[in-house]
C-alpha cells in the first residue's frame, strides 16, 4: 500500500490547548479520503500541518515519503491546498490570478508553455472558461470556490487538500463541486474535509472521524460501517412509556443504550444493542409489547451520519 | 538565485499593480504634491530676504527636512495594506504555502512600497530643476539630500511593513507604525532633555532625523549608513519573526 500522507503520533499544542493528540492518519495514494468531525475537532489544524503552514509539536508527518519538516521545500510542490477561507485576490482577473499562483508555486525551471497548457487544462476542468477575464470580486460564490479549487490544482500537485470546499454553497454549486472532486480522483490524491456527511458517503473511498483532537475511527467506508454493524439499532414506537419497561430494557445485558424521543403518535425508543451475530428483534418485540402498546418496530441501518453522531457523542 | 529573484519580481509586480489600480496612491501623491509645492514656493519667496544664505541653506535643506517629516505620516499609509490586507483576505496562507520564503515576501513588499514612494518623490525633482534655472549648481548636495530622503523613507517603510504584519486592521496598522516612527523621532528631543552629553548623544544617534540631516547637509558619515542599514535589517528581521510566529 503506497501512502500519500502518513501522520504518526502527531501532537499539536497551543498554550493551554491540546489541538491534536497523537493523531495517526494514513491516506492511500489515488484515493479520496474524507476527514470529518465537528467544529473545533482539529481538522483544519491537521490540514495546516500537512500543508506545512504550521509545524506539529511532536510526531512525524510524511508526504509521499518525504518528511514535511526536513524536506519542506520539496513537499510544498506536492500539495495543492484549498483552505477553509478561499485565498482570492478580489481585484484580479481569474486567469491573471491563476498565472500568479503558478508563478509563485511552480518551480522556476518550468517553462511558460508548460504553465499555460496546464492552466488551460485546469480552467477547462474547473469550468472557468467563461469567466477567465472577469474580476474575482465580481464572481458568484460558486464560481469563486471553483477559482479557489483551480488555484489548488494549477501548480500541478500530486495531493489536493480541500478544507470544507462546499461550505456556504447552494445545492447546485455543491453538486458541481462534488462532480469536480470525482473527476479529480483520476489524477490526484484528495484529502477532503466536509460537514456534508452524505457527500463523504458518496464520493470518498476512506473516512477518518476526528473529535477533540483525537482520531476516533479510520478506514474505508465499508470497514467503518461494518464495525458499527456489530451494534444494531432498533426503533420501537410505543403509545406510552413506563418505568417498568425502561428498567426491564436497561437490565438486559445485550442492550448498550437507549434514547427516548417524544413523537406525535407516542414515544420512540431508539435501542442500541450489541448483536454479536444474534437477532434480538423477536426478544425485544415480545418484551416491549408485554408492557406497552407497540405501534411500530423496525431495525435501523447505521448510515455514516449515524455513525458520526454515535462516535462523536 | 535566479529563481529567488524571479519570486521577488513576481510578487513585487503584483503588489505594484494592486497599488496603482487603487485610488489611494493617487490621493496620497496629490496631497504630497500640494504640500511640497506650497512649501517650496514659500521657502523660495522667503529666500530673497535671507541674502546671507545660499539656496541650499534657505530652500533645499528646509524643503527636504519637511519632505522627510511628511513621509512620517505618509509611509504608514503606503504600507498599511502590505500584510493586513493579506490577512483580511486570507491570501497570506497562499503566499506562506507557496515556494516563496518569508524574506522573499517581505522584500517584495518593501520594494513595491519603496517604488510607490519613489513615484511620489520623483515629482519633486522639478524643485532642483527650477533652482538650476536661476543658476543653482550644487548638484552633489541635491543628490545626497535625495539619497537621505530615500534612505529615511526606506526606514519608515520597514517599520510600516512590520506594523502591518502585526495587525489585521488597516487603520490600526497605520496608527501603530506612526506611533513607532514618532517614538523614534522623539528620541532626539529626549536627548535634549538630559544634561549628560553621552546619554544625549546616544539618544540622538537612535533618531532617524539626526542621520538624515547629515545627508541633507552633504556630509554623509559611515555611521549614518551603518545606522540606516541596521535599522532596515532590524525591522525586516522583526517582520520575519512575526511571520514565523504563526508557527509557534
- Mean pLDDT of all residues in B57-84: 91
pLDDT classification of A69: cutoffs 50, 70, 90: confident
> How far does the CA of residue B94 sit from the closest CA of chain A (Å)?
6
Look at residue A211 in the predicted model and tell me its pLDDT. Answer: 86
Look at residue A303 in the predicted model and tell me its pLDDT. Answer: 65
Note whether A264 contacts B: Cβ–Cβ < 8 A: no
pLDDT at A248 over 60: yes
pLDDT classification of A241: cutoffs 50, 70, 90: confident
| Cβ neighbours for A260, distance < 8 A, ≥ 6 positions apart | A241, A246, A267, A268, A269, A270
CA distance A101 to B80: 23
Look at residue A276 in the predicted model and tell me its pLDDT. Answer: 60
Helix (H) or strand (E) holding A26: strand A17-28
Q: Identify which of A73, A83, A107 has the shortest CB distance to residue B90.
A: A83
Which of B8, B85, B99 has the most A C-beta neighbours within 10 Å, making it the best mutation to test the interface with A?
B99
A81 contact residues in B (CB cutoff 8 A): 93, 97
Look at residue B202 in the predicted model and tell me its pLDDT. Answer: 84
Range name among A148-157, A200-209, B100-109 with the lowest pLDDT average: A200-209
Note whether A77 contacts B: Cβ–Cβ < 8 A: yes
Q: Which residue has the higher pLDDT, B150 or A228?
A: B150
> How far does the CA of residue B155 sit from the closest CA of chain A (Å)?
27
> How far does the CA of residue A172 sit from the closest CA of chain B (Å)?
25
B246 contact residues in A (CB cutoff 8 A): 53-54
Tens digit of each residue's pLDDT (9 = 90 or more) over B197-223:
888 888 888 888 888 888 888 888 899
Q: Identify which of A90, A101, A107 has the shortest CB distance to residue B89.
A: A90
- Top-confidence range, A15-19, A195-199, B63-67: B63-67
Which of A44, A104, A105, A159 has the most B C-beta neighbours within 10 Å, making it the best mutation to test the interface with B?
A104
Our CA dihedral for B111, A53, B80, B8, rounded to 10 degrees, sits at 10
Give the helix ranges, DSSP H, for A139-265: 141-153, 171-184, 197-203, 221-229, 243-251
- The answer to whether the CB of B218 falls within 8 A of the CB of B141 is yes
- Mean pLDDT of all residues in A171-196: 85
Q: What percent of chain A has pLDDT over 70?
A: 92
pTM tops 0.90, yes or no = no
Q: Is the dihedral of CA A277, A282, A288, A294 positive or negative?
A: positive
Backbone angles phi, psi at A59, to 5 degrees: 105, 175
Residues A35-61 as b or e (16 or more Cβ within 10 Å = b): bbbeeebbbbbbbbbbbbbbebeebeb
Q: Which residue has the higher pLDDT, B36 or A232?
A: B36
Look at residue B85 in the predicted model and tell me its pLDDT. Answer: 92
A88 contact residues in B (CB cutoff 8 A): 89, 91
pLDDT classification of A313: cutoffs 50, 70, 90: low
pLDDT classification of A199: cutoffs 50, 70, 90: confident
Please provide the average confidence, as pLDDT, over all residues in chain B.
Answer: 90
Tens digit of each residue's pLDDT (9 = 90 or more) over A35-58:
888 888 888 899 989 988 888 999
Q: Identify which of A53, A90, A100 has the shortest CB distance to residue B97.
A: A53
3-class secondary structure, A234: strand
Q: What percent of chain B has pLDDT over 70?
A: 98
| Cβ neighbours for A102, distance < 8 A, ≥ 6 positions apart | A110, A115, A118, A119, A154, A155
Distances (CA, A) of B239 to B76, B83, B88, B104, B178: 15, 10, 17, 12, 16
Side-chain half-sphere exposure of B25, counting CA atoms within 13 A: 20
Q: Could you tell me which of A82, A75, A66 has the C-alpha nearest to residue B93?
A: A82
CA distance B180 to A274: 67
CA distance A49 to A10: 9
Look at residue B109 in the predicted model and tell me its pLDDT. Answer: 96
Q: Identify which of B2, B90, B246 has the shortest CB distance to residue A108.
A: B2
Q: Which residue of A has its CA nearest to B6?
A: A108
Look at residue B229 in the predicted model and tell me its pLDDT. Answer: 94
Look at residue B54 in the predicted model and tell me its pLDDT. Answer: 81
> How far does the CA of residue A220 sit from the closest CA of chain B (Å)?
30
pLDDT classification of A228: cutoffs 50, 70, 90: low
Tens digit of each residue's pLDDT (9 = 90 or more) over B21-52:
989 999 999 999 999 999 999 998 888 776 67
Q: Which residue has the higher pLDDT, A290 or A226?
A: A290
Look at residue A311 in the predicted model and tell me its pLDDT. Answer: 66
Phi/psi zone of residue A256: left (φ > 0), alpha (ψ -120 to 50 degrees), beta?
Answer: alpha
- B246·A54 Cβ contact <8 A: yes
Longest dimension (CA), chain B: 63
3-class secondary structure, B90: coil
Look at residue B180 in the predicted model and tell me its pLDDT. Answer: 93
pLDDT at A301 over 70: no
Distances (CA, A) of A299 to A174, A234, A260: 31, 4, 16
DSSP state of A195: S
> How far does the CA of residue A104 sit from the closest CA of chain B (Å)?
6
Q: How far is CA B149 from the centre of its chain?
A: 7
Tens digit of each residue's pLDDT (9 = 90 or more) over A249-289:
888 777 877 888 887 778 888 887 775 656 777 888 888 88
B14 contact residues in A (CB cutoff 8 A): 89, 100
Q: What is the complex's ipTM, to 2 decimals?
A: 0.87
CA distance A98 to A155: 9
Tens digit of each residue's pLDDT (9 = 90 or more) over A102-142:
999 888 888 889 899 999 999 988 888 899 999 999 998 88
| Cβ neighbours for A137, distance < 8 A, ≥ 6 positions apart | A90, A91
A13 contact residues in B (CB cutoff 8 A): none
Helix B2-20 to helix B23-47 angle (10° resolution) is 80
Look at residue A147 in the predicted model and tell me its pLDDT. Answer: 93
pLDDT classification of B195: cutoffs 50, 70, 90: confident
Helices and strands: H and E segment counts in chain B:
13, 0
Amino acid at each position: 500500500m503506497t501512502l500519500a500522507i502518513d501522520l504518526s503520533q502527531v501532537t499539536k499544542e497551543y498554550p493551554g490547548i491540546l489541538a491534536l493528540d497523537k493523531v495517526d492518519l494514513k491516506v492511500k495514494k489515488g484515493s479520496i479520503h474524507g476527514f470529518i468531525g465537528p467544529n473545533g475537532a482539529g481538522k483544519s489544524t491537521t490540514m495546516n500541518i500537512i500543508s506545512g503552514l504550521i509545524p506539529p509539536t511532536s510526531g512525524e508527518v510524511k508526504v509521499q515519503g518525504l518528511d514535511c519538516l526536513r524536506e519542506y521545500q520539496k513537499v510544498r510542490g506536492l500539495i495543492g491546498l484549498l483552505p477553509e477561507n478561499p485565498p482570492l485576490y478580489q481585484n484580479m482577473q481569474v486567469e491573471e490570478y491563476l498565472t500568479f499562483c503558478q508563478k509563485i508555486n511552480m518551480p522556476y525551471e518550468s517553462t511558460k508553455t508548460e504553465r499555460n497548457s496546464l492552466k488551460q487544462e485546469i480552467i477547462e476542468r474547473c469550468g472557468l472558461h467563461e469567466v477567465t477575464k472577469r474580476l474575482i470580486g465580481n464572481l458568484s460564490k460558486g464560481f469563486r470556490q471553483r477559482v479557489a479549487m483551480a488555484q489548488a490544482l494549477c501548480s500541478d500537485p500530486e495531493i489536493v487538500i480541500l478544507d470544507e470546499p462546499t461550505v456556504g454553497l447552494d445545492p447546485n454549486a455543491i453538486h458541481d463541486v462534488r462532480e469536480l472532486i470525482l473527476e479529480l480522483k483520476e489524477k490526484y490524491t484528495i484529502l477532503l474535509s466536509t460537514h456534508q456527511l452524505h457527500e463523504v458517503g458518496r464520493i470518498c473511498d476512506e473516512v477518518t472521524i476526528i473529535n477533540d483532537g483525537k482520531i476516533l475511527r479510520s478506514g474505508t467506508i465499508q470497514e467503518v460501517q461494518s464495525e458499527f454493524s456489530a451494534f444494531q439499532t432498533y426503533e420501537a414506537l410505543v403509545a406510552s412509556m413506563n418505568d417498568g419497561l425502561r428498567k426491564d430494557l436497561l437490565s438486559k445485558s445485550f442492550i448498550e443504550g437507549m434514547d427516548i424521543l417524544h413523537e406525535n403518535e407516542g414515544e420512540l425508543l431508539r435501542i442500541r444493542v450489541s448483536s454479536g451475530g444474534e437477532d434480538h428483534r423477536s426478544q425485544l418485540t415480545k418484551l416491549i409489547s408485554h408492557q406497552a402498546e407497540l405501534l411500530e418496530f423496525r431495525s435501523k441501518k447505521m448510515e455514516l451520519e449515524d455513525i458520526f453522531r454515535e462516535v462523536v457523542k | 538565485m535566479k529563481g529567488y529573484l524571479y519570486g521577488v519580481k513576481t510578487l513585487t509586480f503584483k503588489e505594484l499593480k494592486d497599488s496603482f489600480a487603487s485610488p489611494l496612491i493617487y490621493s496620497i501623491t496629490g496631497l504630497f504634491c500640494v504640500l511640497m509645492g506650497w512649501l517650496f514656493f514659500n521657502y523660495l519667496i522667503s529666500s530673497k530676504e535671507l541674502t546671507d544664505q545660499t539656496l541650499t541653506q534657505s530652500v533645499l535643506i528646509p524643503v527636504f527636512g519637511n519632505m522627510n517629516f511628511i513621509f512620517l505620516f505618509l509611509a504608514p499609509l503606503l504600507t498599511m495594506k502590505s500584510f493586513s490586507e493579506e490577512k483580511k483576505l486570507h491570501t497570506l496562507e497562499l503566499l506562506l504555502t507557496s515556494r516563496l520564503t518569508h524574506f522573499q515576501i517581505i522584500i517584495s513588499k518593501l520594494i513595491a512600497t519603496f517604488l510607490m514612494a519613489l513615484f511620489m518623490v520623483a515629482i519633486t525633482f522639478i524643485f532642483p530643476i527650477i533652482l538650476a534655472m536661476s543658476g543653482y549648481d550644487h548638484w552633489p548636495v541635491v543628490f545626497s539630500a535625495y539619497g537621505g530622503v530615500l534612505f529615511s523613507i526606506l526606514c519608515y517603510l520597514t517599520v510600516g511593513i512590520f506594523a502591518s504584519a502585526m495587525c489585521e486592521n488597516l487603520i490600526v496598522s497605520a496608527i501603530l507604525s506612526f506611533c513607532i516612527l514618532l517614538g523614534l523621532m522623539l528620541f532626539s528631543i529626549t536627548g535634549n532633555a538630559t544634561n549628560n552629553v553621552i546619554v544625549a548623544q546616544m539618544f540622538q544617534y537612535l533618531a532617524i532625523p539626526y542621520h538624515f540631516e547629515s545627508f541633507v547637509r552633504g556630509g554623509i558619515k559611515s555611521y549614518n549608513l551603518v545606522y540606516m542599514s541596521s535599522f532596515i535589517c532590524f525591522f525586516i528581521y522583526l517582520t520575519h519573526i512575526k511571520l514565523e510566529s504563526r508557527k509557534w
